[in-house]
Structure 1
Amino acid sequence: MTVIGIHHIQIACPAGTEDLLRHFYGVVCGMPEIPKPPALAARGGVWFAAGEQQLHCGVENGFAPALKAHPCLATDDVDGLAAAIAGVGGEVRWDNAIPGVRRFHTDDPVGNRVEFQLVRGPKLDFIV
């Protein structure tokens, strides 16, 4: 028995923000929306594909955005994605703390921290 990967990451969101998240993750970041099963759709929230993995945005009562914990989403065009996020008024915070890794942090429309990192190839080997 062994863990073979990550199926999805869930971040929290306040009720009624699904359209904001659809615009940010779906339109700006280009992540396809995944229909939620009917029993779960009644709870609110929205799911997105991130390659073979998924990002689930789940409604949380008493929501407070994650300021330190965050998903890191892989992209093959980190500069283009940074420009798209900046183009809709998002803050792009470049981080060069890891030598040879091109990445930035931003906040989604509900305040959750999100990292985007440049990767290459189907196995997502880091660019160094």
Structure 2
Amino acid sequence: MSFHYELIDHVQLAAPKNGEDQARKFYDALLGFKEIEKPDSLRKNGGVWFQAGSVHIHIGIEDPFCPAKKAHPAIRVKNIEAMKKYLKEKNVDFSIDELLPCANRFYVSDPFGNRIEFLEWM
């Protein structure tokens, strides 16, 4: 092939109509992502975009809405134990998964029921 893949630019997750404020509370206020401005040409579609370092998550509005309960992004974390402690302190439910060898990982659901994996390779 004369091309190669570099990295995933962003992951888009769905939210129901008018879900932008809930997304801001979860991704920005809780998880520490920062909202980034959408281009003018895409604002009419609704939704909101977030970034933390090189991780970009776009929340798009779907009507009718159906959450992604199995398909999910997996976000690599440094010092995942500190993240677990932080989420416990914030009363955020998550489920630990020990099935992947050499990975410390867990799943959390966003306010819309979308599954998100966080992991740290050991």
Secondary structure class of the residue paired with 2:27? helix
Residue segments in structure 2 that go unaligned for 5+ positions in a row: none
Q: Give the aligned residue type for 1:90.
A: V
- TM-score normalized with structure 2 length: 0.89
CA contact (8 A) 1:36 1:46 kept: yes
1:28 Cα deviation after fit: 1.2
Size of the aligned set, in residue pairs, is 120
CA distance, structure 2, for counterparts of residue 87 and residue 108 of structure 1: 17
Q: Give the aligned residue type for 2:99.
A: A
Change (3 A) 1:43 1:107: same
Corresponding residue for 1:25? Answer: 27
Q: Which runs of 4+ in 1 moved over 2 A?
A: 79-90
CA distance, structure 2, for counterparts of residue 81 and residue 27 of structure 1: 14
- TM-score normalized with structure 1 length: 0.85
CA distance, structure 2, for counterparts of residue 78 and residue 89 of structure 1: 16
CA contact (8 A) 1:31 1:50 kept: yes
Cα deviation code 1:23-63 (max 9, x no counterpart): 11112111111111122122111111142231111001111
What RMSD in Å do the two structures reach over aligned CA positions?
Answer: 1.5
Change (3 A) 1:84 1:41: farther
